[in-house]
Amino acid sequence: MNAGSPTHGRRLFACLLFTIIAAIALWVPLYNRVEPSLFGVPFFYWFQTVWILVAAAATALAYRLGV
């Protein structure tokens, strides 16, 4: 994988995507709240559960891109 090759660019993109997702998952003040709640489930709980799907989608995308 040489620098400048298409794979290198895609790899960089995937790493950037993962970093953003991880930063949000670790930024506790962002989601440490009750509202907006969903069907009575506090934001803290449903947001992190939805975030699993976002991380999985990003990993699937990286797989598709051949990273």
- Which residues here bind another protein, judged by CB under 8 A? 1, 14-15, 18, 21-22, 25-29, 32-34, 37, 39-42, 44-45, 48-49, 51-53, 55-56, 58-60, 62-63, 67
For residue 66, give every residue at least 6 positions away whose Cβ sits within 8 Å of its Cβ, in sequence order, or none: 7, 10
Q: Is 23 helix (H, G, I), strand (E, B) or coil?
A: helix
Least Cβ distance, residue 25 to another protein (angstroms): 5
Q: Torsions phi, psi of 7, nearest 5?
A: -60, -40
Residue (3 or 26) nearer to another protein, CB: 26
Least Cβ distance, residue 4 to another protein (angstroms): 17
State how far the Cα of 38 lies from the Cα of 46, in Å rounded to an integer: 7
